[in-house]
Amino acid sequence: MVRVLKKLGLLTVVVCISCFLYVSFFKHLNDLDNAEEGHDIFTYNRNTYKQKNISSPESNRQINTDESRKKQINDVPKRSMKSIFYKKVKLWEREMSHDDLIPRLQKVMRNYQEMNAYKLKYQGKINQQRESHDLLCHLKHRVNMATLKRSDLPDNETHWSQYLPDKDIHEVVGKLKRCAVVSSAGAIRGSRLGKEIDSHDAVFRFNAAPTKGYEADVGSKTTFRLLNSQVITQKEHNFLENPIYKDVILIMWDPSPYDADIYQWYKKPEYDFFESYKKYRTANPEQPFYILKPQTLWQFWNIIQESAPELIQPNPPSSGSTGILLMMNICDEVNVYEFLPSSRLTDRCYYFQQFMDSACTYGGYHPLLYEKNLFKKLNQGTEDDITKNGKMTLPGLKDLQCLNETR
Ligand code: NCC
């Protein structure tokens, strides 16, 4: 009798544990589904993302301003079980392609290719297998990482050219030794990389990514901050007042159509940032604040496209890649943190918000997947550095010797 009771007890325990595991597994799948669909599984409630079933806001730079685009992006299939298992793939161990993306992001990518918002007429090659030194030479000689100077605008445009700096960023900043670039990825949480990041001569950050409260993981020093034109123009960023933009070297970018010259672009920027720029310069005349020449982005995009195994999103590179390349033009050595994901990889978009969206890591609007492929080829650090710290080490371009000028 005692034996029977013992067996029954054991059986009950086994059944309970199985039920618990079963329920947890399906709850987890459900959470992943929500996250992949651009929902916040932690009840994050920013106005822009309030609408239920909205597809990834990260996938769409102009989600608030372009209804038709919003419709196309939202018109995506429900996620399949297959996509869950893509998460198990070890990332950037090999070159990634759109086959590695979940179906939703594949669809987003196709939509952007159909839209061709910047009117690209790309006739060049793809899948150019350049070895890393050659690739570095192409980046050095074909991407003119220049910022706008007063003298770049026609004489009759003084009403706004008077607010531009006299000199290009390189003339003022000169050459730096060791620089750190800190991506805003959620995976940097818990990294304890703060001290290492702060030990660099200069630290580069993006958009509204804060340091306060996150010092242990991302450090506290900021030397440069690269902003996209949304940050300058959208009220929610409070650009004119927010102290995180003060006491640093600011650089901003706004995309032009692929073939536009500076004049055509500044008459019709994607986001009308000039008023904010003027106000900021008037209030902070001593603070360096540069604007990247828009053609820089497309010169860089050409090289990302040439290096990619297939056609990429016809949209500008992310702030992340643009900032990395800018630092490679200024510093002798650039250590980049959590751009190539470490083993802490998560769908959590940012370290400072709970919002979940895998597009932040793999790209929706930006060709991030291919940007990461490209920098992975150039990494001089170890695989272990990537896995443990999400760290890659890139060389400066200033002293790079190139046999043929690859212009
Ligand atoms: O997200 P964002 O960039 O500010 O991130 C800065 C750079 O960090 C890298 N990153 C970020 C998150 C993540 N999980 N993995 C990453 O690798 C990327 O290289 C990224 O560029 C941008 O590029 O400017 C972007 O800006 C945001 C947004 O405009 C700003 O954060 C201001 O709110 C864009 N999001 C939206 O438009 C909704 C984002 O697509 C790109």
| Angle at CA of residue 380, ends 375 and 382, nearest 5° | 105
The residue whose CA is least distant from atom 29 of ligand 1 is 230
Contacts for 328 with CB less than 8 Å, ≥ 6 apart: 139, 334, 394, 395, 396, 397
Report which of 131, 83, 126 is spatially closest to residue 104, judged by C-alpha positions.
Answer: 83
- The preferred substitution site among 44, 73, 183, 239 for testing ligand 1, maximizing ligand atoms within 8 Å of CB, is 183
CA distance 253 to 238: 18
* DSSP summary character for residue 62: T
Residue 67, pLDDT score? 39
The distance between the two most distant Cα atoms of the chain, rounded to a whole number of Å, is 101
* DSSP summary character for residue 55: P
**Mean pLDDT, 10 residues at a time, over the chain (407 residues)?**
62 61 46 37 25 44 41 35 43 89 97 98 93 97 97 87 96 97 98 98 98 98 98 97 97 98 94 96 97 98 97 98 98 98 96 97 98 98 95 98 72
In the sheet with 249-253, reading across from the earlier edge strand, the strands are 289-291, 249-253, 224-228, 202-206, 176-182, 331-337, 391-395
The residue whose CA is least distant from atom 22 of ligand 1 is 319
The total of other beta-carbon atoms located within 10 Å of residue 177's CB is: 11
Residues with CB under 6 A from ligand 1: 57-58, 61, 183-186, 206-208, 228, 230-231, 318-321, 339, 349, 360-361, 365-366
Structure tokens at 243: 């102290």
Residue 12, pLDDT score? 65
The residue whose CA is least distant from atom 39 of ligand 1 is 58
Sequence length of the chain is 407
Which residue ranges form the domains of the chain, and what is each CATH number? 2-115 (no CATH), 132-395 (3.90.1480.20)
The residue whose CA is least distant from atom 30 of ligand 1 is 207
Residue 405, pLDDT score? 58
Residue 159, pLDDT score? 85
One-letter amino acid for residue 404 of the chain:
N
**Tokens 């004489």 appear where?**
155
Do 380 and 237 touch, CB atoms closer than 8 A?
no
Residue 6, pLDDT score? 67
Residue 31, pLDDT score? 39
The residue whose CA is least distant from atom 31 of ligand 1 is 207
CA distance 332 to 95: 26
User: pTM (2 decimals)?
Assistant: 0.84
* DSSP summary character for residue 370: H
Which ligand 1 atom sits nearest the alpha carbon of residue 366?
A: 40
Rg value, the chain, Cα: 23
The residue whose CA is least distant from atom 20 of ligand 1 is 320
Tell me how far the alpha carbon of residue 324 lies from the centroid of ligand 1, in angstroms: 13
CA distance 186 to 347: 8
One-letter amino acid for residue 46 of the chain:
R
Dihedral sign for Cα 343, 345, 350, 352, please: negative
Tell me how far the alpha carbon of residue 61 lies from the centroid of ligand 1, in angstroms: 10
Do 289 and 239 touch, CB atoms closer than 8 A?
no
